[in-house]
Amino acid sequence: MPSANPGLSRLAARDRLWLGLLLLIVLSVLLWSGHEPKDRFTWFLEVLPVLLGLPLLLLTYRRFPFTRLAYGLMTLHAVILMIGGHYTYSEMPLFEWLQAEFGWARNHYDRLGHVAQGFVPAILAREILLRTSPLRPGKWLAFLVLCVALSISAFYEFLEWWVALASGDEAVAFLATQGDVWDTQWDMLLAWLGAMAALLLLSGVHDRQLRQRGFL
């Protein structure tokens, strides 16, 4: 029996192809990341969101599929986490080279990770709120998305603190403070700025994808 909406059927087929490619990327990087990481305990802590999130997304795909934009951003964030887990955030080779080249006081790969920690959840929170609440695009939606992103960042800082209390010196690479007493504040600020950037740069694209799928 032919589909009642051939356009949506073609869109769904392209979405499945896109998701298959993203899944292949995540699994490939995960295998590489887990092969002889610099510190196994740090690797586990860094990639734990991927190990928990991937099965959850697969289990909920039919009931709550996200847009291609959201899945693409989640893949990017997963890759950042897995690279950080393999090398540790303070010893990521490309950013070590940049540190030496530009005379930076620290390896800034962890800063990139915290920008992503706000940038990616902002779009996920935006999509969930638009699809499950009466909120529509506008100031209140943006405000609540920023609150969610900042809350996630703050909660992650709590997790780092709890891990440090529980494991002591073993958590040094996971914390990646690199001697900066303001590291926690920088992390949350960068996550907030990342969330703001996501809203400013991607809201239009996100709305179009939501409308194409009948979610908005």
Interval 119-148: pLDDT, tens: 999 999 999 999 999 999 999 999 999 999
CA distance 77 to 50: 9
| Predicted local confidence at residue 52, as pLDDT | 96
**Calpha distance 40→35 (Å, rounded):** 10
**Distance of alpha carbon 115 from alpha carbon 113, whole angstroms:** 6
In this prediction, residue 75 carries a pLDDT of 98
- Which of 38-52, 168-182, 183-197 has the least mean pLDDT? 168-182
- Which range among 9-23, 97-111, 177-191, 198-212 shows the weakest confidence by mean pLDDT? 177-191
pLDDT band at 12 (very low <50, low <70, confident <90, very high): confident
Q: How confident is the model at residue 2 (pLDDT cuts 50, 70, 90)?
A: very low
> What pLDDT sits at residue 65?
94
Distance CA 128, CA 126 (A): 6
CB burial string 39-50: b at 16+ within 10 A, e below? beebbebbbebb
Give 138-145's long-range contacts (Cβ < 8 A, gap of 24+): 142/199, 145/195, 145/199
Give the residue with greater pLDDT, 168 vs 44.
44
* Other CB atoms within 10 Å distance of the CB of residue 72: 18
CA geometry: angle at 99 spanning 97 and 104, to 5°?
170
Average pLDDT over residues 82-111: 92
pLDDT exceeds 90 at position 30 = yes
List for the chain the helix, strand, coil content (%; round to 5): 80, 0, 20
| Whether the predicted pLDDT of 19 surpasses 80 | yes
